[in-house]
Structure 1
Amino acid sequence: MPRECQLFKQVLQAHARDRATQPAVVGLGGRFTYAELLAAVEQRQAWLAAQPSGTLVLGLDNGPEALFWDLAALFAGRPVVVLPTFFSSAQRCHCLAQSGAVLALIDEGFADDLLAAGFSAGERFWHRLPPACASVPPGTAKLTFTSGSTGAPKGVCLGAPALLRVARELEAASRSAAPGIYLAVLPMAVLLENIGLYAGLLAGAQLMLYPSAQLGLRGASQVDLRRLLGAVALSGAHSLILVPQLLLGLVTAVERGLMQVGPLRFVAVGGGRVAPSLLARAEAVGLPVFEGYGLSECASVVCLNRPGDRRPGSVGRPLPHVQVRIAEDGEVMVAGSMMLGYLGEAPLRTPWFATGDLGRLDSDGFLHLAGRKKHQYSTAYGRNVNPEWVEAELTQGGVIAQAFVHGDGLARNLALLWPLDPLADAAALEQAVHQANQGLPDYAQVHAWQRLPEPLSTAQQTLTANGRPRREQILQRYQALLSDVQ
């Protein structure tokens, strides 16, 4: 067992001894103390040890049981894939084929995918013979599949030392806020949430782990905000992790008096660009929001604002386990807790990973991002614009839910918009565009826009599984609509 795993298990053993009756994890499956958590994990670790070696697939919704099996696989040294519920069936089948998994534990909704992949149901596990083509790098603890803007999900192979080093640094970064109750909002298949749970366990916190539907989350981008906000309020959570769109809902609710800040002490936000205006609104209502930055290839979090060390507009300083530098073309480079490699490709050889993100480090070492390198376009006037920057400004005002910005080689920047309220009229959208433009330089402002006929979605292949725009598909699908505003 890697040293980081040994240290992690020793922490859990100490919690089981010193906090034996304290709740460790609470969910629909019950309330479990730290002593009960450790016993449940060790039992499942023994069950795994009795099975043939190979990768384990977890297709379980958020809950104590999913956490027990995830930890059991970690301590057993067995590679694990947490299969995203928000992936399409075709994407899940791709993950099963690529991972070469031999064991699976699933909710009922995954049965057809496993049968199609050659699995059969056993007494405790689904199982199959190892596929001949599978090749997972030695030392892999977690296989996380990232869904980019094109193509099938890509498998990122991560070792336990990298994962647990990040978890340890996250716990240290939030320690001064003393977050004793942590609510898992995102699915465990999201690497950031998975590591956030490890950080909570290291801190000896109480983890609130409920199925996504109970929190009002469905798929990659469908949210019942009223249900989610109710769950946050009822949980008494001190800490949680949000993506920008969920943070917008939380801030707007507090502004309108629909909920109180309450006991929240540390709200981390990542997964996409956060408009400075939204962070300012959060600060104005007293929400303790800390923006960060990371990517799966670097075992999740790279930089983070933290209590006493925050700079609005930045994603924080690099955590102690990594180094960050900026290449000559502005690309962010990271060294530290790197992946072992992509599944089916050669191992990573260079110590510095090119992230594909553009950014700068200020004189105090805070990282400021400027969007994706491959998404940047040049206008007809030779100005470089990153559409993600403009889209973030458009969607943070509480009127526009989705925005797509295009202007490559054009004299004007064009936008396709979908409102938060489907009944919103053109005047409301126009006002929202006007307000966003006030915070943008003239070359990045939206000069013309059209309302989308329907929201962008994974079903229409205009969003990735994690909710990001598929730019080429959007341009192709809505070419006529964009032509109308040029």
Structure 2
Amino acid sequence: MRKLLTQLELIDDNPVVLRDSSRQLRKQQLLECCRDLAAVLKSCDIKMVALFGDNSSDWVIADLACQEANICLVPIPTFFSQAQINHLFASLAIDTVICQATEHFLAIPNIQHGAQQSVLEGRLQLLQVVCAGQSSALPESTQKITFTSGSTGQPKGVCLSVEQLLLQAAALADAVALDKPRHLCLLPLSTLLENIAGVYTPLLCGGEVIIPSLAEIGFQGSSSLDTGQFCRTISHYSPQSMILTPQLLVIAIAAAKQGWQPPESLKFVAVGGGRVSAQLLAEAHHYAIPAYEGYGLSECASVVSLNTRAQSAPCTSGKPLPHLRVSICRGEIMVSGNAMLGYAGQPNSWNQEMIATGDMGSVDSQGFLTISGRSKNLLISSFGRNINPEWVEAELVANTVIADAVVYGDAQPHCVALIYPRDPELADAEVQQTIDQVNSGLPDYARILNWFRLNQPLTSQAGMLTDNGRPVRATIAAHYQVQLNNLYGQPTNSISLEDSSQ
């Protein structure tokens, strides 16, 4: 399959194909920018690039230039903690960083810094590095390594080829069926869903991709948002399509209830990254937000199934894309047809024809996929961040202050915790100080924003712990339902109450 730039050449020249707050690019200008940067990268004999930066047209140019130059690209999520960035560089043979500022990379352990130069008229910096640590082996044809938010402190790198990325983009274009769509990117471009569905797909359709900075959208960190700014940005650009997480959809609906009018141009709003209630989707359509739920994962090159304007069923995640095959094995969703090449550094994961998703679900007689829950104890926040509660709990109890910690936050905007201090006489302020210290070492999507103090340890409460000391989450959540309600100010029916003690 040809690269995206080659396919873009065959499309009629629109007035603008790529836009951010500072400039607009026609098709030929985009092609020239990408190929000029690709030539620079080739002249430096670069093999693997880490791309780190705010949403901008330059981010897209760097992405497509690496594709054009046959260079492996590693987009670094802007919400990664310094520890996660360090892990990434310790495990991959990255030899170049393209970024807006180099501060994040000058203090990485065991990294030697080489030549540095400005590219794209000085808007981005190209920093060559030498990683002293061991480098992971990669599957053949790896062009992009995408890291999810990471369910633990050391997320896995999903390896994908150009062919897989463009096959996915083309399938989405056919499913959504918008002619030359005007798409507004509201998620970080390092998110595979926005990267493929928000950039590649509109470009393949001859559409326009609008890329405001995250600050212009209203983001403050990865889990906080200025609602007014968010809505003003949508109104200003009047897009036809957008991609939202469930939490962003909640924010948009709340604004609409208070008088904000979504632009009449909106035709399709994809919602992914977590469970979405049928009631929420119905409210969205009532307020002229054409929201459609989908399901996917990076290991399948993002989108697996999607409700569309032509085919939609409530309480489902839509029909699988035509190039994918979905089956159910012992209740678990299995996907084949565009499986990842494998995980970086894990050869036993390479060349799998089928992906065991870890999600439980079913397919009805009409072919619509329904997700019922996760087989493993994994939280997905309403901002679409994967969080393993055991990781956060381990950080909380890894000190002399906290004895018990149970973390919740599935389908919620932030994490909360039930806490019991080792010293029953310890003041709440001192417990909070410890939580603050732990939070400072976590990415912001995994931090504990609210907590409830238990009046007795879990060991003294029957049925709260397994024989090996693991929390029985369903029992604990049911027992402390009122307290969890109060922590969120809303019902806990969106918190996963599945028993993950096995």
Given the two structures, how large is their TM-score scaled by the length of structure 2?
Answer: 0.74
**Corresponding position: 1:84 with 2:80:** no
Counterpart position of 1:373:
375
Q: How far apart are the structure 1 equivalents of 2:194 and 2:156?
A: 19
Give how far 1:136 is off.
Answer: 2.6
Q: How far apart are the structure 2 equivalents of 1:109 and 1:131?
A: 18
**Corresponding position: 1:10 with 2:6:** yes
Give how far 1:173 is off.
Answer: 1.2
Contact 1:323–1:336 under 8 Å retained in 2? yes
Counterpart position of 2:43:
50
Contact 1:147–1:464 under 8 Å retained in 2? no
- SS, match of residue 46 in structure 1: helix
Contact 1:157–1:339 under 8 Å retained in 2? yes
- SS, match of residue 159 in structure 2: strand
**Corresponding position: 1:206 with 2:202:** no
Counterpart position of 2:113:
119
**Corresponding position: 1:72 with 2:68:** no
Deviations 1:28-67 (A, max 9, x none): 3411111100111111111111122421011121111111
**Corresponding position: 1:335 with 2:336:** yes
Unaligned runs of 5+ in 2: 119-125, 384-388, 390-405, 415-430, 462-478, 481-502
**Corresponding position: 1:28 with 2:21:** yes
- SS, match of residue 221 in structure 1: coil
Q: How far apart are the structure 2 equivalents of 1:417 and 1:41?
A: 41
Give how far 1:132 is off.
Answer: 6.3
Counterpart position of 1:384:
none
Q: How far apart are the structure 2 equivalents of 1:306 and 1:193?
A: 17
Give how far 1:220 is off.
Answer: 2.2
- SS, match of residue 118 in structure 1: strand
Deviations 1:115-174 (A, max 9, x none): 543333422421123656222322111111123332312111111111111111111111
Deviations 1:434-465 (A, max 9, x none): xxxxxxxxxxxxxxxxxxx99xx998559985
Deviations 1:241-295 (A, max 9, x none): 0100001111222232222342111100100001111011112223211111100
Change (3 A) 1:97 1:271: same
Counterpart position of 1:399:
none
Q: How far apart are the structure 2 equivalents of 1:23 and 1:240?
A: 18
Counterpart position of 2:188:
187
- Which amino acid is 1:253 matched to? A
- Which amino acid is 1:169 matched to? A
Q: How far apart are the structure 2 equivalents of 1:481 and 1:260?
A: 49
Q: How far apart are the structure 1 equivalents of 2:26 and 2:438?
A: 44
Change (3 A) 1:415 1:80: closer
- Which amino acid is 2:45 matched to? P
Give how far 1:469 is off.
Answer: 8.4
Change (3 A) 1:95 1:69: same
Equivalent of 1:250, from 243, 246, 252? 252
How do 1:326-405 and structure 2 match up within 5 A?
A: 326-328=328-330, 330-346=331-347, 347-375=349-377
**Corresponding position: 1:163 with 2:156:** no
- SS, match of residue 358 in structure 1: strand
Deviations 1:78-119 (A, max 9, x none): 100111111111111111222211011112264445654333
Contact 2:180–2:208 under 8 Å retained in 1? no
Change (3 A) 1:111 1:350: closer
Q: How far apart are the structure 2 equivalents of 1:469 and 1:358?
A: 27
How many residues are paired up? 411
Q: How far apart are the structure 2 equivalents of 1:421 and 1:294?
A: 20
- Which amino acid is 1:233 matched to? S
Q: How far apart are the structure 1 equivalents of 2:219 and 2:226?
A: 6
- SS, match of residue 248 in structure 1: helix
Equivalent of 2:176, from 174, 177, 183? 174
Counterpart position of 1:428:
none
Give how far 1:297 is off.
Answer: 0.7
Give how far 1:23 is off.
Answer: 0.5
Change (3 A) 1:279 1:130: same
Change (3 A) 1:282 1:46: same
Q: How far apart are the structure 1 equivalents of 2:161 and 2:350?
A: 13
Contact 1:291–1:314 under 8 Å retained in 2? yes
Give how far 1:298 is off.
Answer: 0.6
Change (3 A) 1:130 1:417: closer
Q: How far apart are the structure 1 equivalents of 2:373 and 2:188?
A: 25
Change (3 A) 1:93 1:421: closer
Q: How far apart are the structure 2 equivalents of 1:309 and 1:96?
A: 43
Deviations 1:457-482 (A, max 9, x none): 99855998584689xx999x966699
Contact 2:316–2:371 under 8 Å retained in 1? yes
- SS, match of residue 306 in structure 1: coil
Counterpart position of 1:435:
none
Contact 2:157–2:344 under 8 Å retained in 1? yes
- Which amino acid is 2:203 matched to? L
Contact 2:247–2:413 under 8 Å retained in 1? no
Contact 1:233–1:262 under 8 Å retained in 2? no
Contact 1:89–1:113 under 8 Å retained in 2? no
Counterpart position of 1:129:
130
Give how far 1:325 is off.
Answer: 0.4
Contact 1:147–1:465 under 8 Å retained in 2? no
Change (3 A) 1:416 1:326: closer
Deviations 1:338-368 (A, max 9, x none): 1111111114243111000010111111000
Counterpart position of 1:96:
89
Q: How far apart are the structure 2 equivalents of 1:47 and 1:81?
A: 18
Give how far 1:14 is off.
Answer: 2.2
- Which amino acid is 2:114 matched to? S
Contact 2:144–2:162 under 8 Å retained in 1? yes
- SS, match of residue 140 in structure 1: coil
Give how far 1:236 is off.
Answer: 1.1
Change (3 A) 1:458 1:298: farther
Equivalent of 1:298, from 287, 297, 300? 300
Contact 1:236–1:263 under 8 Å retained in 2? yes
| Segment of structure 1 superposing worse, 111-120 or 155-164 | 111-120
Contact 1:238–1:266 under 8 Å retained in 2? yes
Q: How far apart are the structure 2 equivalents of 1:208 and 1:295?
A: 24
Q: How far apart are the structure 1 equivalents of 2:192 and 2:241?
A: 17
- Which amino acid is 2:96 matched to? L
Given the two structures, how large is their TM-score scaled by the length of structure 1?
Answer: 0.77
Contact 1:458–1:464 under 8 Å retained in 2? no
Contact 1:276–1:313 under 8 Å retained in 2? yes
Q: How far apart are the structure 2 equivalents of 1:458 and 1:156?
A: 32
Unaligned runs of 5+ in 1: 377-386, 396-403, 405-413, 423-452
Contact 2:92–2:134 under 8 Å retained in 1? no
Deviating above 6 A after TM superposition, structure 1's stretches of 4 or more consecutive aligned residues are: 414-418, 481-484
Counterpart position of 1:438:
none
